[in-house]
Structure 1
Amino acid sequence: MIEAQRVIHACRVPLWLAFSAALSACDPVPVGQDVPPEPGVIKATRNGPSGAAPGTCWGRTVSPAVIETVTEQVQVKPAKVNPDGTISSLPVYKTEARPLIVTQRVDNWFETPCPEALTAEFNASLQRALAVRGYYIGAVNGEMDAATRAAIQSFQRLDGLDSGVLSLATARKLGLVAVARPPDQ
């Protein structure tokens, strides 16, 4: 009798919980380790968007897909109509819910200084520039640490870029990278 009760109880587990437990058994990443981030999201990458100039580095933000659940009534069995026009049985409907992608996922690429330019001296200048503007409150240590990335993200949010990866436009705005001169006309 106890075994039967356990089986009945196991059947009451929500389907999403059983599914997520099954998927976690397939996880190829060892326990205690983080999943490696996609290129360009956490730090700059040379694998930028198609058509990117050779030798340039890129960062990326991801706008997730917007998914809506559409619920509709679907007729499973039509009404049965007698020869005299009377209805002998009503139609049968069922409710179906399906996902609908309203907006596709979008990768938003932006140019960044390449990793070899992000020296300790550059990072220290970046930290000082962000500190003067009230975005960085940590020690000026020349490291691209979590506090520096958070300050970069807060500063870049003003221009609509929600990323902790330093954009080339932000580096120019802070006076850390030379602004290209327009060609002589």
Structure 2
Amino acid sequence: MDPTPAVRIAHTGELTPVELARVRDMLDAAFEGNFDDDDWDHALGGLHALVLDPYGRPIAHGSVVQRRVQHAGRSYRAGYVEAVAVHAIHRREGLGHRVMAALEQVIDTAYEFGALSASDAGAALYAARGWRLWPGGLAALGPAGPVPLPEEEGSTYVRPAAGRPLPDPGHPLRFDWRDGDLL
């Protein structure tokens, strides 16, 4: 018997209220109080990659949701990675890599590129997997027009979908508006 738990992929709509509550509890614990209701909302509505312990409790999670990104006069469909976390007692077991591999497969088959905003703690995981720090400008498309996001520069990573080029860093990425953290 393989002791490595499988990665389960499920759309938010396929997860029961109990499963969603367990994921939220794990994320609250993993982020040590730095995961709020807006962060949770950002993680919903797409596909979740979950690793469960033998009792059905999540021990690793990440999700990918669609974001519209305007770049150089064109609108792209980007897979935005959210809420990647591993329960503290299961860190350094490769679970973060397994979750990201599952999310990257979704990005490769459904989106033009992937994007994410990395914490200092998470940046090494993404860089090790080939994600690249976005060297260009960033903005959100706010109700009154583009809102520059210079504070996000240096923490936003991108990854081309399989067989596609990355957008030109000579033009900013302008992400769709949302409540809470814009990226």
Considering the TM-score relative to the shorter chain, is it more than 0.5? no
TM-score under structure 1 length normalisation: 0.20
**Which is richer in strand?**
2
